[in-house]
Amino acid sequence: MTIVVEKLLDLYSQIHLIRRIEEKIAEEYHQQTMRCPVHLSIGQEAVAVGVSAHLNSNDRVYSNHRAHAHYLALNANLESLIAELHGLENGCCGGRGGSMHLIDLEKGFAGSTPIVGATVPIAMGAAFAFKQQKRSHIAVSYLGDGCFEEGVVYESLNFAALHRLPILFVLENNQYSVYTRLKQRQPEGRSISKLAAAMGVSVLHGDGNCIDDVYGLAAQAIAQIRAGKGPYFIELDTYRWPEHCGPSDDDHLGYRPQGELAAWKARCPLQYAKTLLVQAGVALNHIQQLEQKNSKKIESAWVKALNGLTPNPKKAAEGVYV
């Protein structure tokens, strides 16, 4: 899909911001000021950016343990994310949740939790509520290929199809669940898209590293959902560059075939988006200015976030409802 230059600049800027913030997290992680585990999305950024471009703050987005990109692509609060990673009171969960428990309701990010598949039925419930209340909003459920070993995901797809719910399932197929490849977990030749189609939802499949592909498929699916055509499922092929959990490279562990990581790095979503900009006639110094603006934004948010207070232990039971 051809994207107008202004939009493309905006999408590039978001991919760049997410890449740089995650690189900054990786750089700072060894200082041990972030005591929560971090699951970085470096290499997968175009998925969240291309999908979020078609959402508004009344929609509800649900995510998993690898949530930073999903949160940031909604323009959710950067400072609150950084503070949350540091366990500070000004974090989006008051410092209680860390990287895997993010929320920004103002921006439509209804939350992430790390239990694989756990937010899928919750997203489906939000879509059910939207339908009952005759609202025009949609729910978005981000899931990894690992979710397809969880029964609740099949139940959610079935229910969404049965009731023609306004929900978009976004499968980020990065081929791995921790250290195990998809083909070691599921029978050879199986296609997750075909499984989803068999459950009765409309399916699209594309390249998650190409922002124009993601943007175009998400536009198509979301327009259909908003028009009352029922649930959609987009499978997007992509690849995680860092280790499953943590800031480092883990290619030495040997669970990835030799050369696979390098081949995917050569298909970098950030570089791809930059090439689209250059082909559209955008000058390199214009792109550079935009990148500098993002770097300043990150530096200033980092400083402000770290000025936050450590949570007061007396408030530890606040928000506990049982």
Ligand X SMILES: Cc1ncc(C[n+]2csc(CCOP(=O)(O)OP(=O)(O)O)c2C)c(N)n1
Q: Contact residues for ligand X (CB under 6 A)?
A: 65-66, 114-116, 144-147, 174, 176-178, 244
CB of 248 to ligand X, least distance (A): 15
Cβ proximity to ligand X, 20 vs 181, nearer residue:
181
CB of 50 to ligand X, least distance (A): 17
- 224-228 own/partner pairs: CB under 8 Å, 24+ apart: 225/138, 225/166, 225/167, 225/168, 226/136, 226/138, 226/166, 228/164, 228/166
Cβ proximity to ligand X, 90 vs 174, nearer residue:
174
CB of 142 to ligand X, least distance (A): 9
Cβ proximity to ligand X, 79 vs 145, nearer residue:
145
CB of 114 to ligand X, least distance (A): 5
The one-letter amino acid code at 83 reads A
Cβ proximity to ligand X, 206 vs 242, nearer residue:
242
Cβ proximity to ligand X, 144 vs 231, nearer residue:
144
Ranges assigned E (strand) in the chain: 60-63, 109-112, 139-144, 167-173, 176-177, 180-181, 202-207, 232-237
CA dihedral (215, 207, 193, 179) positive or negative = negative
CB of 92 to ligand X, least distance (A): 20
111: left (phi over 0), alpha (psi -120 to 50) or beta: left
Question: Using CB atoms, what's the residue nearest to ligand X?
Answer: 144
Query: CA-based angle 64:261:268, to the nearest 5?
Result: 75
Phi, psi angles (nearest 5°) of residue 189: 85, -5
CB of 65 to ligand X, least distance (A): 5
Q: Do β-strands 176-177 and 167-173 pair in parallel, antiparallel, or remain unpaired? A: unpaired
Give CA–CA dist 23/6, Å, rounded: 26
Cβ proximity to ligand X, 8 vs 147, nearer residue:
147
Cβ proximity to ligand X, 47 vs 305, nearer residue:
47
CB of 241 to ligand X, least distance (A): 12
The one-letter amino acid code at 94 reads G
Cα 304 vs. chain centroid, distance in angstroms? 24
Q: Which of 174, 31, 190, 59 is nearest to 126 (CA)?
A: 59
Give CA–CA dist 282/277, Å, rounded: 6
Residues found in the chain = 322
